[in-house]
Amino acid sequence: MNTDDDMLARRLAVTLAQAANALPGAPAGAVGAVRRRFVRRRRRLRMATGAAAALVALATVVAVAGPQLGLRTTPATPHTGVIQLWTLGTADRNPGLRDRIGAFNDRSDVSVRLSTFGNDAYKRVMAGPWPDPAPDVFENWGGASLTEPVRTGHATDITDAVAERPELSDVLLPCVLEGAKVDGRLYGLPMTGVQPVVLFYNKKLFTGAGLDPPRTYAELLTAVDTFRGKDITPIALGGGERWPALMYLSYLTDRIGGSGVFADIVAGRPGAWRHPALKQAATLVRELVDRGAFGPAADVMGYESGTASQALASGQAAMQVMGSWEYGNQLRADSTFATRDLGWVPFPTVAGGIGDPAALVGVPANYLTVDAQSPYRTEAVDFLLRTVTSDAYLDGLLEAGEVPAIRDLEPRLAAHPHAEFARFTHALAESAPTFTLVWDQALPSTVAGELLDETERLFRLEITPDQFVAAMAATR
């Protein structure tokens, strides 16, 4: 797509997301149906022209962002300006965010206006030059998605502001705050719960097979062979999108060589992509594929469409490696399965590996960052500081099935229906010596794109582990 077309597509995506605030809600199930049709056609659409790609992004905004937002009402009091808050559509699952926006708007001369985007549309809008129109507060994953705004002067340093407020600095988990730091300075606060990648499993299937959930790679292979023998897909993989496959490579590399392997890659150190742990991890990935771990439908199954998660819930698949957000997805889709038959364990260890078994890969959190060039920077920072540790916001995260990134979670879990999963996830994050951001978010977009392409080829057995390593080493 040429530059002019790309800029037009990005502006239209923003306009549609903002206009969606006035749209009525869609009929029940309509969003899911549109999303499923979109994902089924994704492979064919990859062959489309640049203009068609822009329409895909815009369709995602209309189908996902608009119907979730519902009708808006005019503020009771006039405001002198508007803080544009841009997030992914998943932010709308936290009722505490709406509460905090309303409370802020009631007392401030400047109002907050939320615009939500589908995942692909948001990445398109935020890629390349800074968007015009631009957000005053924007969601990001940390890593490269935060480093670039810092470098270009579009991220406000809030280090001192947070240090002066012990209700923030003493409450939030340090390992999560690290994810919003660049060169030791803090540029964001967590808007989501902690999101480690873990291994989910179907309890009923494991009980029926006489198996315990796998704690080691060897036990994982045993489970794969056992379920294959029962004509059950061992591991549900949303191969229709490329990023779920990358989680296996990320974790296996960490388990084999430790978190320093990827830290060197992010730092751009010479030869980092050629560390032996990366080739060994790619070899284990090939072994899983050769063994039939992901079944025959992995290439067309999607995560964002819900088909991979449905396979796990329905008993068509026995396991799924996914971020902790999977619990909330299962809870919304089938609360009976989520609360009775869904199990979870940390990602398995690898014999002989030097990685710390307590180390995590995933998303420490998604963050909210204030644009340093916003005309309402002061008010936006105030909104951010007042929101993310408020009772309404934290309780809203729990209600949505997420686990707030705070030190003392237990008092909030009394009689909470999801306390077991919350304790598990929180304990992982609290004790993790390192919490590595998923690779496609930690790396610059050009390198991440190559990584996703080569990972897809590796999982399809189109390249060998040596070829994978060589291809990635050529990106630096």
Question: What tens digit of pLDDT does each residue of 196-208 get?
Answer: 999 999 999 999 9
Helix (H) or strand (E) holding 189: strand 189-190
Stated pTM of the model:
0.79
Q: Which is nearest to 38 in space by CA: 61, 22, 18, 17?
A: 61
How many C-beta neighbours within 10 Å does residue 229 have? 10
CA distance 395 to 403: 9
**Top-ranked range on mean pLDDT: pick from 22-36, 121-135, 251-265:** 251-265
CATH 3.40.190.10 residue window(s) in the chain: 3-194+364-407, 195-362+437-473
3-state secondary structure of 465: helix
Q: Which is nearest to 234 in space by CA: 143, 315, 334, 333?
A: 315
CA distance 473 to 155: 31
User: Is residue 24's pLDDT more than 70?
Assistant: no
- Can you name the residues that pair with 172 across neighbouring β-strands? 406
pLDDT at 371: 98
User: Is residue 39's pLDDT more than 50?
Assistant: no
Domain 195-362+437-473 belongs to what topology?
A: D-Maltodextrin-Binding Protein; domain 2 (3.40.190)
User: Is residue 22's pLDDT more than 80?
Assistant: no
Residue 362: pLDDT band with limits 50, 70, 90: very high
CA distance 144 to 438: 11
CA distance 198 to 361: 9
Domain covering 3-194+364-407 in this structure, CATH number: 3.40.190.10
Q: Which is nearest to 3 in space by CA: 144, 127, 117?
A: 127
